[in-house]
Structure 1
Amino acid sequence: MTAPDVKETLLDAALIHVAFDGWSAETFAAAVADCGVDMAVARAVCPRGAVDLAMAYHQRGDRLMAARFAAEDMTGLRYSEKVAALVRFRIEAADDKEAVRRGTTLFTLPQYAADGARLIWNTCDLIWNLLGDSSDDVNWYTKRMTLSGVYSSTVLYWLGDDSQGEQATWEFLDRRIDDVMRFEKFKASVRANKPLSALLAGPMAVLGAIKAPKRRDDMPGHMGGTN
């Protein structure tokens, strides 16, 4: 069994216990016992125990979102509708609300906050890449930062949503996407306004010098080997 296979096996076993014990040492030990993996092997694959499994659960959701996107026919949808659809696909991929709730609690802890932020960033980076985003300047960052806010707020709304078919969540998501599109239109209007563009020429020149990272790990604060 390969290391990825071991991690997936442990993750499946852990999900049964997460609702009761969270992404904890107790959950990790129970998962190891349930699937019969040697603890030394489990620790080699998941050095941080259940924290690594919580990250693997999020990354599994990313893969499921990408697979659903590949299978869906999205022709005819506006760009903003495609963004909203992908955010919805990603949230629906996390079919265990309690696992997400426990993960949200885990990644708000100071020692794991950077991991949580990176997971959300990578999800939003994947969404833009799936949509063919070709920006290579400061817009590369602003798009991902803005979508990270939309995604995070929608997940929190979803966790408390008990509406039929979670319709309230999808309406909330649509409103957030509309806010983003209005902001993009505002930026375009600033660029089209010659007096204002002249006033902001200096700051815009600085921003124009910012380029997208050449590699996925070519970002400040990124630590290799954590995904």
Structure 2
Amino acid sequence: MTQTPIEDRLLNAMISHVPFDGWSEASFRAAISESDVNDTVARALYPRGAVDLALAYHRKGDAAMVARLNEADLSAMRFRDRIAFAVRARLELVEDKELVRRGMTLFALPTYAPDGAKAVWGTVDAIWTALGDTSDDVNWYTKRGTLGAVYSATVLYWLGDDSPDHQATWEFLDRRIDNVMQIEKAKAQARDNPVLSKLMAGPNLLLSRLKPPRPTTGFPGRWQPQDSDK
């Protein structure tokens, strides 16, 4: 009989307490007791206790979303519809809204806000990567930043949505994506405008040298040196 990994045992025990006690130390202690995991081992795996388990829960949801995207045939969809499908899949995979609601309460605290922002960034990065994004300049950042705003707003709407099958949420999501498409259209028109194009030549040159982070550096971005910088 295959044994459930310690991480999964802890998380499975934890989520039964979160709706009542939140992602808290009390829930974490209860999860340790119920999963029969050694306290020292549990705290070695999750040094910050419930906070680290909340992040593990979020990453598990991201992984499930990516698996669904990889299994789905998206070839006939417009790209905007692929994005909507991905966001919808991420939310549909949540087994209990209260787990997300309690998580948002936790990551709204100033101490943990950076962790929450990093978790959202991880979600939108997973979406763009799964959809085949190959951008290697400032667009890598703007795509994720824009989708992060759309995703965060949609989650907030979804938490309060009691419409059948969350239809109101999916309509809200479509409207937010429409807004983004309008912005992209305006940006394209600006690029085609010879006056604006000339004015933005300098800033665009600088932005073109901003590259996505390398996997091994740990820094949030990288600068592409030019001959004049050497």
Find the residue that maps to 1:16 and give its secondary structure. Answer: coil
Which residue of the partner structure matches residue 99 of structure 1? 99
Q: TM-score, normalised by structure 2?
A: 0.91
Which residue of the partner structure matches residue 183 of structure 2? 183
**Cα distance, 1:217 vs structure 2:** 5.8
Aligned partners of 1:142, 1:216: CA distance in 2, in Å? 22
**Cα distance, 1:38 vs structure 2:** 1.1
**Cα distance, 1:190 vs structure 2:** 1.1
Aligned partners of 2:217, 2:126: CA distance in 1, in Å? 14
- Where in structure 1 do 4 or more consecutive aligned residues deviate above 2 Å? 216-221
Q: Deviations over 1:30-60 (max 9, x none)?
A: 1111111111111111111111110011001
Matches within 5 A, 1:36-185: 36-185=36-185
Aligned partners of 1:27, 1:217: CA distance in 2, in Å? 35
Which residue of the partner structure matches residue 32 of structure 2? 32
Aligned partners of 1:119, 1:70: CA distance in 2, in Å? 21
Aligned partners of 2:216, 2:152: CA distance in 1, in Å? 21
| Bigger mean CA deviation after superposition, 101-110 or 196-205 | 196-205
- 8 Å CA contact 2:213–2:220 kept in 1: the answer is no
The percent identity for this pair of structures is 56
Q: Deviations over 1:151-198 (max 9, x none)?
A: 000000000000011000000000111111111111111111112101
In 2 relative to 1, CA 217–147 (structure 1 residues): closer, same or farther, beyond 3 Å?
A: farther
Find the residue that maps to 2:75 and give its secondary structure. Answer: coil
Aligned partners of 1:30, 1:137: CA distance in 2, in Å? 46
Which residue of the partner structure matches residue 209 of structure 1? 209
Instruction: Report 1 or 2 for greater relative contact order, CA contacts < 8 Å, sequence distance ≥ 6.
Output: 1
Structure 1: 5+ residue stretches without partners = 222-227
Q: Deviations over 1:106-135 (max 9, x none)?
A: 011111111110010011011001111111
Q: How many residues align?
A: 218
Q: TM-score, normalised by structure 1?
A: 0.92
**Cα distance, 1:219 vs structure 2:** 3.1
Aligned partners of 1:187, 1:137: CA distance in 2, in Å? 16
Find the residue that maps to 1:73 and give its secondary structure. Answer: coil
Q: Deviations over 1:191-211 (max 9, x none)?
A: 111121012212212212211
Aligned partners of 1:185, 1:216: CA distance in 2, in Å? 35
